[in-house]
Structure 1
């Protein structure tokens, strides 16, 4: 009874999650819609969702779930970072264009593992373009983009300083997880350097019922190295290297605790997941007129190794990509044109120690060259437009050496209009050609026969309409959206390389935010429905496509006591019961997905006499709720799958010093 009363009091309060920096003014584009940034490249604030450096400082995220907390249209499944996947407007991230520091990611290694293993400690920002995305965001952005940016010297160095460093120690009581990170950075003349290292170790964690979460130990290492040189004329050259490595016993099928029945397998096996990213970039930091270039070459690789007593399976995906573009300043905005390319590979190497005849080593390769243009204009006061197109030319090389060519055109348009000083309307539409993509590494079959008449091209259509009302310190937002993807490649080991599926997601979100001098509060609601091949989606048929999500309510807030150097905040997520599920047995409705409520709170203290020192304490899952995050795989198969539950109540404390 006492816990129930405490929960009621908490939910009715505004003691909720961090949303805005103590020294930053309230900005409406941190909520839903934003305003179109005429000089932006690679994204359009008319339709994007930004997680800024200030947001990262306030959230202190340990994984992608915490990174996108408080965004009701962005869901992350799994309680283990090694198997987390992101869903934007209900679409799984492999159907979006994913970049890290501009480098294309191609990480569809294993459906039981993460698509992109990201350590938020390395990040300075994350930008999401849901659905409608600009042409210069890259090829294959079927349902939008996610652009991760890692930290720079500029983000860390104190004003006027030429060198500095940071050290942070953190402890989480659930699993006895200890984390240590450090960074050193400098700027001398035109030279810059940054080195960031992090190590995290911990034991098995417990869910809200006190039960062990199978394979939830922590053994992660990450690092970031950046070197840059900028001439007096503004020519900037930057080289970055980023790596994340996870090596730990995980559930045998990494994104579920276990199957009930089925073939007998060990409860766990070791997953060794390693992702690396190398990027070389040239930009002109003092552009004039029609000359504002960006030249970039990058190499990204993800490897997954599953060693077992009687067999081993190794998967590798890699992408060598580049972009050469220029942004032209015109009278009413900018126009960006350019060329990009990628060369992707997906490999699986299976070895059996009991029967070498089962060994196989299939490889698929994919090449693409694209040309694009994107305009961002403000032709009239209060009217902002962005529109563009791209043409892509693609070739797939199958495991049998056969080659399959395809080409297509994509286009996008979005507009935002200030109807009054307080009301802004916006909308957009895109048609995206995705051609052919690589199959998942772990289901490739060396005996596949590819269709002689070619593949059906993957295409997508995205649309949204939205409105924003601003009155005083209040902002109200509403948005309708829909994505349709046709012929999404859905290959299977036994079914062949050319299977496809159609997916549709649709939904709406509404939100309200209020800001005062030293804080803010925001409330969001989203309702998302998903269909695969014309029927209600389930998590199995939705692999690499979608997930049955339903309704989500988020509440978050923060307040600063500036004279005390104190900040408090927290967040609440309430996910409603979802009865829109599918049953393979009956062909009708499946078991309902249960509702849950999870609340988190934090306090942060920076002594005024030592403002380079910060202490933080947070309590996550305050009410010790036992639940699986709505985007977690398998929970719609009640009685057949034990899903990965989220950790129960935990105290996380940290101390950080800047010098």
Structure 2
């Protein structure tokens, strides 16, 4: 089944390491990606993307979406290791202190935009059992197809398809699984079934039930109580009618937590400041829904038509009520239901304009959506408002001899307006914001030799302020309806290398170096000051620069990877930005010892990070460097009565390291975690 069109580049060292040549030349590590109607190896395009596919997802054995992304260079977790406290940072964009950073990352599930921000909560909820593939585009280059404002990048999660479950040559198949992890204390069970009664129809039904308890730090102290039962469901069906198809899907996550910490980022934090009773515990419902209906038409006798039209609806809610512990109440202003509902219509067409000696694919499209942010509680802590958007875009991919040229242009109009409940002062007027964004992008790659390539890209990005930034007036600060859009200028240059048969017959190696610089005018930051000072303001400019060096090598049963990611950023006064992640080195190795046994390890070595004084770090405390190590073993008997069984055992943070990533607001990360799962395919 075709995947969503995406711009991808060389796969990085700690995921499936990318390298390869043209199809048929024997190298296997470079993944095949569907790009604008034609399959290409990932390393043949000039943008920077990591791809995590089924094999790597199985090795990670994730308990939450953060586990999946933890090994991707340039990406760091924001918030906590809690299932309900997940947020992300890409190259210095992303922070729960200021929605500006998080809004600079586009988060997608099956191509549909997901964005949720509520005080002391996570922003992205996903059932790991349903994830079939993840692509992370670092930086704004080639984000034309996804939306404006991707200063940090794009996280695109694809759920499993029926074809991922049905064995080759069969018309149906399934998988059952039972797993346990110690930190957080959780159990998961899942069952999936794929059905293909005919070549023109297939369907998938997947169910997962997850219980999530407490997370502890390295000293055994309680960090976060999730205390949830989480039944989740994924349904898909696809029917083909000659050159056309219709596809429908529905994804549902439902978590009911009793006496769950309201603060899923740092836990209760009793005594955080003198007299503070803690954030309290409550009965909290988390619900995330994604519904899609897509029609496609690709006549074989017309290269100018490969069209899709998608109608979708997504909604993410949190409903917070007082729990059963009267000594741990939640502040009344934080109670109630908060949600984001988004209805979207998108149409696009891919034209094959290739000719003698060159290939050229042109994608054109249009999109419109309406987002409704609502709250049943105190509106100042979660201001209500509408965001309406209309956009058109074009994306060109041209390959001629040794040169690849990718260009994109997206134009978007947004209208943001508060609901009557928003607490705006009279002098601020109606608070409506009408904004336009025009984003041109270009990427070039030139193959110097069969092994060496150089590449570069440039992009202009405009990010429109969010409802939260415009109208938030909770915990100090007045609404900020006069904010200006952020304007980013991103430049990347790099060099890549790929080859085979270097030290032994059949071995494969790859290396890629990427350097980037992102200049942001009118960057939006939280002031941390009381009213009448606005809660958010524009600073004149900020600078983010850094690089990523990735290398990988495979020989026989061994697969080895390494990646270094470095990012630094300052504002116009030369002060460090508060959203910078740790500079780090990630190492990975796996050994296919026999046809049934596979062993592996992953290590993260992070440098310390100086932290400036901010609203959440008034003392300006720095974050120390750290090193963590994960190991795993997978047993898959390939014959006899146990064929189709898999036992997956792993230990995260083997040394039980006590550490706090630079992108966490407060509090340590989780301590050692033992995990084991048993699955059977049939």
TM-score using structure 2 length = 0.82
Confirm or deny that 1:64 pairs with 2:78.
no
**Structure 1, 504-513 or 467-476: larger mean CA deviation:** 467-476
Q: Is the 8 A contact 1:505 1:531 kept in 2?
A: yes
State the distance in 1 between where 2:395 and 2:348 align.
Answer: 11
Tell me the CA shift for residue 550 of structure 1. 3.1
Aligned to 1:377: 398
Residue 446 of structure 2 corresponds to 417
Decide which moves more: 250-259 or 48-57: 250-259
CA contact (8 A) 2:186 2:211 kept: yes
Is this contact kept in 2: 1:38–1:377, CA < 8 A?
A: no
Is the deviation greater in 498-507 or in 125-134?
498-507
Give a deviation string over 1:336-384, Cα, whole Å, max 9, x none: 0111111112222325xxxxxx999852111111111110110x21211
Question: Which secondary structure state, in structure 1, belongs to the residue aligned with residue 492 of structure 2?
Answer: strand
Paired with 1:588 and 1:314, the residues of 2 have a C-alpha distance of 31
1:199 to 190, 209, 213: 209
Q: Are 1:437 and 2:446 matched, yes or no?
A: no
The residue aligned with 2:326 is: none
Point out the more displaced range, 425-434 or 501-510: 501-510
In the superposition, relative to structure 1, how do residues 415 and 603 fare at CA in structure 2: closer, same or farther (>3 Å)?
Answer: same
Deviates more, 1:528-537 or 1:147-156: 528-537
Q: Equivalent residues in 2 for 1:118-157 (5 A)?
A: 118-131=126-139, 132-157=141-166
How does 1:362-401 map onto structure 2 within 5 Å? Answer: 362-378=383-399, 380-400=400-420
Aligned match of 1:479: 514
Partner residue of 2:559 out of 520, 534, 552: 520
Which of 614, 618, 633 is equivalent to 2:665? 633
Where 1:154 maps in the other structure, the secondary structure is: helix
SS in 2 for 1:460: strand
Query: What secondary structure does 1:67 align onto?
Result: helix
**What is the deviation of 1:221?**
2.9
SS of the equivalent of 1:72 reads: coil
Assess if the C-alpha contact under 8 Å between 2:473 and 2:479 holds in 1: no
Q: After TM superposition, give the deviation of residue 526 of structure 1 in Å.
A: 1.2
Cα distance, 1:129 vs structure 2 = 1.5
> 2:264 & 2:576 partners in 1: Cα distance?
21
The answer on whether the counterparts of 2:459 and 2:489 sit within 8 Å (CA) in structure 1 is yes
Residue 509 of structure 1 pairs with residue 521 of structure 2: no
Deviations 1:10-59 (A, max 9, x none): xxxxxx977479xx9866657xxx99956469996732211122221222
1:91-102 aligned at under 5 Å gives the runs 91-92=93-94, 93-102=102-111
**Pick from 286, 296, 302: which aligns with 1:283?**
296
**Alpha-carbon distance in structure 2 between the residues aligned to 1:35 and 1:361:** 40
Name the CA distance, whole Å, in 2 between partners of 1:35 and 1:252: 41
Distance 2:526 2:203 in 1: 44
1:319 to 321, 342, 350: 342
Superposed CA RMSD in Å reads 3.2
User: Residues 252 and 289 of structure 2 are in contact (CA less than 8 Å); yes or no, is this contact kept in structure 1?
Assistant: yes
Judging changes above 3 Å, is the alpha-carbon distance between structure 1 residues 314 and 535 closer, same or farther for their aligned structure 2 residues?
A: farther
**1:558-580 per-position Cα deviation (integer Å, ceiling 9, x unaligned):** 121344x11111101111222x3
Deviation at 1:390, TM superposition (A): 1.4
CA contact (8 A) 1:28 1:475 kept: no
CA shift at 1:163, angstroms? Answer: 1.6
Partner SS, residue 224 of structure 2: coil
Q: Indicate how the Cα distance of structure 1 residues 469 and 459 shifts in structure 2: closer, same or farther if over 3 A, else same.
A: same
- 1:20–1:26 Cα contact (<8 Å) kept: no
Distance 1:558 1:334 in 2: 38
Aligned residues: 609
Question: How far did 1:302 drift?
Answer: 1.0
In 1, Cα distance between equivalents of 2:373 and 2:310: 23
CA distance in 2, matches of 1:87, 1:286: 41
Q: Name the CA distance, whole Å, in 2 between partners of 1:35 and 1:530.
A: 33
Gap regions ≥5 residues in structure 2: 1-12, 95-101, 323-328, 421-429, 503-507
In 2, the alpha carbon distance for the partners of 1:293 and 1:140 equals 25
Deviations 1:283-316 (Å, cap 9, x if unpaired)?
A: 2355540000011111111111222367323211
- The 1:45/1:243 distance shift into structure 2, 3 A limit, reads farther
Q: Where does residue 6 of structure 1 map in the other structure?
A: none
Q: Which of 436, 450, 470 is the matching residue for 1:407?
A: 436
1:566 alignment partner in structure 2: 597
Query: Could you tell me whether the CA contact under 8 Å between 1:277 and 1:299 is conserved in 2?
Result: yes
Q: Is the 8 A contact 2:133 2:158 kept in 1?
A: yes
What secondary structure sits across from 1:246 in the alignment? strand
Report whether the alignment pairs 1:648 with 2:650.
no
User: Corresponding residue for 1:272?
Assistant: 285
Render the CA deviation track for 1:83-134: whole Å, top value 9, x for unaligned: 1111111212421222211112232x31421111122221111111111123
Question: 1 CA distance for matches of 2:337 and 2:75?
Answer: 31
Please state whether the residue corresponding to 2:225 is helix, strand or coil. coil
**Cα deviation 1:610-643 (Å, max 9, x = unaligned):** 4311111111211111122332223xxxxxxxx1
Which residue is equivalent to 1:464? 492
Q: Give the secondary-structure state (helix, strand or coil) at the position aligned to 2:216.
A: coil
Kindly indicate whether structure 1 or structure 2 has the higher relative contact order, using CA contacts under 8 Å at least 6 residues apart.
1
Q: Distance in 1 between matches of 2:39 and 2:392?
A: 15
Alpha-carbon distance between aligned partners in 2 of 1:38 and 1:175, rounded to the nearest angstrom: 41
Distance 1:27 1:440, change over 3 A: farther
1:236 positional shift: 1.4
Cα contact 2:148–2:439 (8 A) shared by 1: no
Note if contact 1:553-1:574 (Cα within 8 Å) is conserved in structure 2: yes
CA–CA distance in 1 between the matches of 2:493 and 2:360? Answer: 23
Secondary structure of the residue aligned to 1:213 is: strand
Give the drift of 1:142: 3.1
Unaligned 5+ residue runs, structure 1?
Answer: 1-15, 352-357, 635-642
- Cα deviation code 1:420-475 (max 9, x no counterpart): 11211111010022334322699357x97775xx6523322222111112343332
Q: Does 1:621 align with 2:656?
A: no
Q: In 2 relative to 1, CA 216–648 (structure 1 residues): closer, same or farther, beyond 3 Å? A: farther
Partner of 1:335: 362
Shift of 1:529: 1.5
Q: 2:170 aligns with which of 150, 153, 161?
A: 161
Contact 2:74 2:138 in 1 (8 A): no
Match of 2:86 in 1: 84
* Structure-2 residue corresponding to 1:658: 681
CA contact (8 A) 2:54 2:133 kept: yes
Quick one: distance in 2 between partners of 1:327 and 1:188? Answer: 30
Question: If the length of structure 1 is used for normalisation, what is the TM-score?
Answer: 0.85
Match for residue 272 of structure 2 among 260, 265, 271: 260
Distance 1:468 1:178 in 2: 42
Match of 1:575 among 583, 600, 606: 606
Paired residue for 2:537?
499
